[in-house]
Amino acid sequence: MNLQDLEDAVHENNVEQKTIDLVQDAESNFRGDLKFTKDELGSHIYEIGICLDIYNPSMVKDVEILKNLKCVLEEIYNSMK
């Protein structure tokens, strides 16, 4: 799964606005052709983690999308020097 797949999933499912914002921000700020710092990426990962902590587990699609987004961004983060 990649950032574009996650953005498509957001539009195909009825998810919360915060989930939409997090995915769209990640797609627009952390694509491979853009420059960004580890701190910027780490901050976004941290924000996703907070949302996962407070989201109601019954919001299955939101939780699934955010977990996938966190994994994708962590892979990018770990591949940075």
- CA–CA distance, 77 with 15 (Å, rounded to integer): 26
- CA 43-49-51 angle, to 5 degrees, is 110
Number of domains in the chain: 1
The pTM score is 0.93
Give the integer Cα–Cα distance in Å for 75 and 64: 17
d(CA 58, CA 62): 9
Q: pLDDT tens, 20-66?
A: 999 999 999 998 888 999 999 999 999 999 999 999 999 999 999 99
Domain with 67, as residue range(s), is 3-79
Task: State the pLDDT at residue 32.
Answer: 80
Spell out the residues 6+ positions from residue 39 whose beta carbon is closer than 8 angstroms to its own.
none
